[in-house]
């Protein structure tokens, strides 16, 4: 662009004296450079950390968290349309919207959250409150606080069918709360009349299965963890409409470092009590993260809803991520099929309302089982091969299975696959 | 700058044909505008909320939180040196520094935190770990978790001398934890051998008093809340060196919406357990907030340590804030002295190692007492006058006293003072 415009400038000025034009252009460019340096130069001097160190053929590959750094490639291509400039004087107040139920929720973020769900079709938003949290981790604890009965000395049991996300037992028990406690595997939870909180994670972390509530008790309450109910991971089969639904920015766009999640909540009293939890634990949620998330969710929607500018291609996050995940899963399934010792859950496929066709599911984690005799602790076995994963016992099942992140960098995934292929 | 450079450009090109030069300048400026719009235009389109609504002569004045919006004026003057541009692809990973004790702490933030304490002289940093939190509120709970003894069924008592910060009792009790519980006023806490956690807030929220630990028990542990130990609020009399010291960005620079705090922690095991708490509750702390805080703390230090660029004046945050607070306190003390019904704590003054002279303290809150007969609930009395404050009973004392924020906007402070002056 700069070269083209400069060339035009040269032509327009051709009739003028050569020295004058050259001086004019040079000085304008010098001024421009100075202007941009003064106006924007200082702004980029805080360099962000690079996260985990780069993976080499010999290094340890860390795949025990679902660290979604795979998405960096997309956002680098995307350029500045989703970058954000935060002036020094902005976002100073604790408050964002004193009139709202969630007084620290930035209205711009709420708008983009509702817009995104309407685009994707994965959840009903009309009639729901949006509550923002420091990741869905904080929101999960906020729901427990909000829906636990008033303390009568007996904490309510929090259950989930095994294999369940390893953070649920820890989050429900680490403070030894009198309001709630971890109750274990929902499949074995007894009692038709016992009240409990059931966490339904669908697609399920760690195994990618589609889940529905299993507890039959009439006084049980369900929390739906929809961290992975996005079209890059699973077919979108319906707009979910449960009482409490949790979403996280990190697994939607890949921005885990921003620590942002949201809940869609039907009941006003539950929404208020969740907001209270966020006030008591962190006096709200980073406004910088909220503004950034709003910008990025907006860019995702724009990519699908707006015509691209001249010279730009359409920017389709869910297509990018789905293609990437599908290619990785194809390679992983081939490697596992070629091995004698590993298995994976069966491939699921269904009609996806977002992609308007039948697609396979590509879970964010591989739930990898080892059938070789003598390997009772697969996590340790893989760690000897410098692959760090999370073992089955943390998810309430046996140690012959592990959870492996499928959303890390290409390098990490490739090295993981290379090493897996050599194991007999 | 633009006008000056344009004028020079015109002079340099004087010998060239007039049409050519005009076309050249105009087209360069047109290109510049297009360039800036394309390069940066999109970046500013997410508008941040304005926080609380503006105050008018008739409106309700909300002074019950210490919402530090007073500082916006400084940061607006400061311009872009403390603004931050976050590219879309940055800060995607959960991690910042896998080798560190606090693996989600941005190294740039740690550097600026240490630099600021060295500049101000309010805390020793050598030999301390820096732990970042979502405001010091989260850090306070992290310390309770970290220093509570392993659960034996009896929670440890958390105490603080009344009047104590109203959030301590709530934070220590709202989850009905088996690890710790609120134990009340430290002045009346019995037992020479009873273990407890004492929170020492100095200068004290709400009354601005200088505090030291009061519990005599040898097995008590102290947490120092130094949210207000900055030179705009109180003379800096020593570089504090306690085992655990909490600081918050919001009361230092005024950026409450960024939700960022840090702890200086001597013991490695305590630092690790606090980090664990942050992982369990929020899987780390917003990187966007950390990068922004690093930029802003760096700008504060630069303002004192670097020579200003040509045409710029020195930028001294603590001088700005101190002058502002001192002027407000002078006016408030005059208004209270003129009234028959209000009193304030005595003015404190001492030599300040930062300002290198004896200065008066200017607390972030006014601890306003009413001596008029019949007014037992000052919070309600002021609320009838459309002034929202926080009543003494929430701080463990009587209701004839309230806490009033001194760090709100000029408009809010002026209206508060006007109304106070009319009360008889």
Task: Give the burial class of A266: count Cβ atoms within 10 A of its Cβ; 0-12 exposed, 13-18 middle, 19 or more buried.
Answer: middle
Query: Which 3-state string (H, E, C) describes B214-249?
Result: CCCCCCCEEEEECCCCCCCCCCCCCCECCCEEEEEH
What percent of chain B clears pLDDT 90, i.e. is strictly above it?
Answer: 78
ipTM: 0.89
Q: Per-residue pLDDT tens for B20-37?
A: 433 444 444 444 444 444
Q: Which residue has the higher pLDDT, B81 or B124?
A: B124
Partners of B180 in beta bridges: B156
Is A310 or B340 the better-scoring residue by pLDDT?
B340
> In chain A, what residues touch B59 (CB-CB under 8 Å)?
none
Best to test chain A binding among B15, B113, B288 (most A CBs inside 10 Å) = B288
Whether residues B43 and A85 touch (CB distance < 8 A) is answered with yes
Distance, first Cα to last Cα, chain A = 55
Contact B102, B276 (CB under 8 A): no
Residue with tokens 């529905």: A212
Average pLDDT score over residue span A293-322:
88
Closest to B83 (Cβ–Cβ): which among A71, A87, A167? A87
How many helices (H) and strands (E) chain B has is answered by: 12, 16
Task: Judge whether B240 and B124 are in contact, CB under 8 Å.
Answer: yes
What CA–CA distance (Å, rounded) separates A327 from A232? Answer: 12
The top-level CATH class assigned to B61-79+315-422 is alpha beta
- The distance of B105 to chain A (nearest Cα, Å) reads 9
Rounded to 5 degrees, φ, ψ at A157 are -80, 135
- DSSP for A351-405 reads EETTTTEEEE---SEEEEEE--TT-S-HHHHHHHTTEE-EEGGGGTS-TTEEEEE
Which of B32, B71, B93 lies nearest to residue A51, judging by beta carbons?
A: B93
Q: Which two tokens stand for residue B84?
A: 């931050």
Residue B27's closest chain A neighbor by CA? A9
Phi, psi of B79 (to 5 degrees): 70, -145
Contact between A206 and A395 under an 8 Å Cβ cutoff? The reply is yes
pLDDT greater at residue B48 or residue A368: A368
- Asked if B97's CB is within 8 angstroms of A80's CB, the reply is no
Given B5, B76, B285, which is nearest A259 (Cβ)? B285
Contact at CB, A176 and B178, closer than 8 angstroms: yes
Of A420, A285, A293, which Cα lies nearest the Cα of A366? A420
Residue A140: closest CA among A115, A161, A167: A167
The pLDDT-based confidence of B371 (bands split at 50, 70, 90) is very high
CATH architecture of A61-79+316-422: Alpha-Beta Complex (3.90)
Q: Residue B49: which of A106, A141, A286 has the nearest Cβ?
A: A106
Give the chain B residue whose CA is nearest to the CA of A250.
B92
∠ CA B289-B303-B287, nearest 5°, is 10
Chain A contact probe: residue of B49, B100, B274, B278 with most A CBs at under 10 A: B49
Nearest CA in chain B to A5: B31
Gap between the Cα atoms of B303 and B253, Å rounded:
13
Q: Pairing state of beta strands A156-160 and A180-185?
A: parallel
B270-300 per-position pLDDT tens digit: 999 999 999 999 999 999 999 999 999 999 9
Identify the pLDDT of residue B269: 97
Subunit contact A281:B141, Cβ cutoff 8 A = yes
- Per DSSP bridges, beta strands A261-265 and A129-133 are antiparallel
pLDDT higher than threshold 60 for residue B360: yes
Section A4-19 average pLDDT: 40
Asked if A85's CB is within 8 angstroms of B40's CB, the reply is: yes
- Predicted confidence at residue A311, as pLDDT, reads 66
Give pLDDT, residue B312.
Answer: 66
| pLDDT value, residue A37 | 43
Helix (H/G/I), strand (E/B), else coil: A209? coil
- CATH of region A107-303: 3.40.640.10
d(CA B197, CA B219): 9
């Amino acid at each position: 662009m700069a070269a083209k415009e400069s060339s035009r400038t040269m032509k327009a000025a051709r009739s003028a004296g050569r020295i004058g034009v050259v001086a004019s252009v040079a000085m304008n460019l010098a001024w421009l450079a100075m202007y941009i340096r003064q106006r924007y130069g200082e702004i980029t001097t805080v360099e962000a950390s690079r996260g985990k160190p780069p993976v080499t053929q010999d290094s340890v590959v860390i795949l025990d968290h679902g660290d979604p750094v795979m998405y960096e490639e997309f956002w680098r291509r995307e350029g500045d349309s989703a970058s954000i400039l935060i002036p020094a004087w902005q976002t100073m107040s604790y408050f964002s919207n004193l009139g709202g139920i969630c007084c620290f929720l930035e209205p711009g973020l709420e708008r983009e959250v509702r817009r995104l769900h309407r685009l994707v079709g994965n959840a009903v938003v009309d009639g729901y409150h949006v509550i923002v949290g420091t990741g869905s981790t904080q929101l999960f604890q906020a729901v427990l606080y909000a829906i636990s009965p008033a303390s009568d000395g007996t904490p309510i049991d929090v259950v989930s069918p095994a294999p369940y996300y390893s953070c649920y037992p820890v989050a429900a028990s680490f403070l030894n709360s009198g309001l709630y406690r971890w109750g274990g595997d929902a499949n074995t939870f007894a009692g038709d009349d016992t009240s409990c909180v059931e966490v339904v994670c669908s697609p399920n972390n760690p195994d990618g299965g589609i889940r529905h509530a299993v507890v039959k008790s009439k006084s049980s309450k369900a929390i739906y963890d929809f961290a992975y109910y996005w079209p890059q991971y699973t077919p979108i089969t319906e707009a979910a409409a449960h009482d409490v639904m949790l979403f996280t920015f990190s697994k939607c766009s890949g921005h885990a470092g921003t620590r942002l999640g949201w809940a869609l909540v039907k009941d006003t009293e539950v929404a208020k009590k969740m907001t209270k939890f966020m006030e008591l634990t962190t006096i709200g949620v980073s406004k910088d993260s909220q503004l950034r998330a709003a910008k990025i969710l907006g860019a995702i929607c724009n990519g699908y809803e707006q015509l691209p500018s001249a010279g730009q291609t359409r920017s389709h996050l869910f297509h990018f991520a789905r293609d990437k995940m599908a290619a990785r899963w194809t390679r992983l399934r081939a490697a596992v099929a070629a091995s004698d010792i590993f298995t994976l859950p069966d491939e699921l496929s269904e009609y996806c309302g977002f992609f308007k066709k039948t697609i396979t599911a590509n879970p964010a984690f591989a739930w990898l089982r080892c059938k070789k005799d003598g390997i009772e602790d697969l996590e340790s076995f893989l760690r000897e091969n410098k692959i760090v994963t999370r073992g089955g016992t943390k998810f309430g099942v046996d140690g012959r299975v592990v959870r492996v992140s499928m959303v890390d960098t290409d390098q990490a995934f490739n090295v993981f696959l290379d090493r897996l292929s050599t194991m007999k």
